[in-house]
Structure formats: structure tokens, C-alpha cells
């Protein structure tokens, strides 16, 4: 008799937890992730392919993830032209990296929702140059016009979109000395580079979504 009551009690507890879990998952706090990276940086490329996209595939359905990507990294300097009408930037991995970053910035401007831009930005990432990127990345269901995006990447507007991110870096990531540089709710976590999905599950998304791997004790 006693054992049966305990069983019923535990079942009720489990059921109430489950429904409570669903409720909080829907209404729970958003997790705000902001990342900075460089178009020719292999660590950024790796992170996008093996952490960013897979994380979204696994945790996107929780409705709890906000994301913001900025193609702007370290060892980058931009100076305004003499007439103040244009800007000239130098990038960590050279001229073609600036162009790749500019192409990514143009895509992000055209598709402000990260769910829409993340696949294309990841495709552009790490390509030899913008010609290679434009050939590979504007096929398929995207509504973006390849010619327009290529023009944007090489225009004053594209350079401005790119260089404007310098201000954001000085506001929210002044200590950035590495990319990818990942902020979660405004704070930088190195762990988010190495194991984004696991780290979000373990530290930020409570109650734990069913898609999460086993918890790691840090």
C-alpha cells in the first residue's frame, strides 16, 4: 500500500514537472548570444560549421535562443577617407578577408533575422574570396540576388556596414583579442567556442531541453 502511494506520488511529481517544464521553456528567459568572427579565420569557420549551425538545429525549437553575428574581428583597422565619404579597412587576413566580411555584412543587412542569414553567412565563411563565395552561396531557396550582394560587398555602403561594427566592439567587446569571440547575455565565455551546445544546455537553458546531452560538471 505504502509503496503504491509513493509510486503515485512520484508519478504526479513527474507529470507536474513535465508540464511545468513545457511552460517555462516557452515563457522562459531568452538566451542572447552575440558572436564576432573573421571571414578567413579557420577557428571561426570551424565554430560556425560545428557549433553554431548544429546548436541551432538542436536548440532552435526551444524558442529560447537569440543570435547576433558580427563579421568583425581583431587586428582590423578602418580609417575614414579624407573627404569623410568612404572608409578604408585593413583586416587580420588581408584584403580578401575584408571583402568576405563585407559580403557577410551585406547578407545580414538584407536578412536581419539570424535564422535566415546563418546558413548563408556560414557558407561564405572561409571561402577563398568573394567570387568563390558568391558562386557557392547564393543558390537555392535564398531570395538574395547574387549580383546585388556582390555589388554591396565591394561598395562604399558595404565598407561602411563592416567598419561601423568597430563601435559595437568598443561598446560590448572591448577586450576582444581572439575570434570567434562569443558573448552570452553580454559576458564572454571561452567554453562557448569549444562546446556551444553543451554549454548552453548546462548553464543557460533551464529546464533542460530533451535534446540536450548529458550534463557535464564544470
Chain contacts with ligand NAG (rule: CB under 6 A): 29-30, 32, 66, 128-129, 131-132, 185-186
Q: What are phi and psi of 194, to 5 degrees?
A: -90, -30
A 10 A CB-CB count for 28 gives 16
Q: Which is nearer to ligand NAG, 143 or 187 (CB)?
A: 187
- How far is C-alpha 186 from the chain's CA centre? 13
d(CA 162, CA 192): 24
The answer to whether the CB of 123 falls within 8 A of the CB of 134 is no
Taking the least distance from each CB to ligand NAG, the nearer of 74 and 116 is: 116
Beta strands in the chain (DSSP E): 31-36, 65-70, 77-80, 87-90, 181-184, 187-188
Residue with smaller CB distance to ligand NAG, 129 or 155: 129
CA gap 116, 134 in Å, rounded: 17
The closest alpha carbon to 130, from 91, 95, 103, belongs to 103
Please say which residue, 74 or 207, places its beta carbon nearer to ligand NAG.
207
SS3 state of residue 50 = helix
Looking at the Cβ atoms of 61 and 66, the one nearer to ligand NAG is 66
Amino acid at each position: 500500500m505504502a509503496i503504491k502511494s509513493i509510486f503515485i506520488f512520484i508519478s504526479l511529481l513527474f507529470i507536474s514537472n513535465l508540464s511545468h517544464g513545457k511552460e517555462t521553456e516557452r515563457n522562459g528567459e531568452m538566451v542572447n548570444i552575440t558572436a564576432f568572427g573573421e571571414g578567413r579565420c579557420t577557428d571561426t569557420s570551424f565554430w560556425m560549421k560545428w557549433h553554431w549551425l548544429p546548436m541551432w538545429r538542436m536548440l532552435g525549437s526551444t524558442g529560447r535562443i537569440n543570435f547576433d553575428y558580427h563579421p568583425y574581428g581583431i587586428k582590423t583597422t578602418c580609417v575614414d577617407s579624407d573627404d569623410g565619404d568612404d572608409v578604408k579597412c585593413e583586416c587580420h587576413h588581408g584584403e580578401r578577408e575584408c571583402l568576405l566580411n563585407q559580403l557577410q555584412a551585406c547578407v545580414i543587412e538584407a536578412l536581419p533575422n539570424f535564422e535566415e542569414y546563418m546558413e548563408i553567412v556560414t557558407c561564405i565563411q572561409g571561402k577563398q574570396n568573394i567570387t568563390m563565395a558568391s558562386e557557392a552561396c547564393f543558390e537555392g531557396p535564398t531570395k538574395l540576388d547574387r549580383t546585388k550582394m556582390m555589388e554591396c560587398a565591394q561598395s562604399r555602403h558595404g565598407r561602411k556596414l563592416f567598419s561601423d561594427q568597430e563601435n559595437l566592439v568598443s561598446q560590448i567587446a572591448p577586450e576582444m583579442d581572439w575570434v570567434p569571440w562569443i558573448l552570452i547575455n553580454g559576458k564572454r565565455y571561452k567554453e562557448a567556442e569549444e562546446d556551444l551546445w553543451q554549454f548552453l544546455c548546462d548553464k543557460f537553458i533551464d529546464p533542460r531541453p530533451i535534446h540536450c546531452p548529458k550534463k557535464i560538471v564544470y
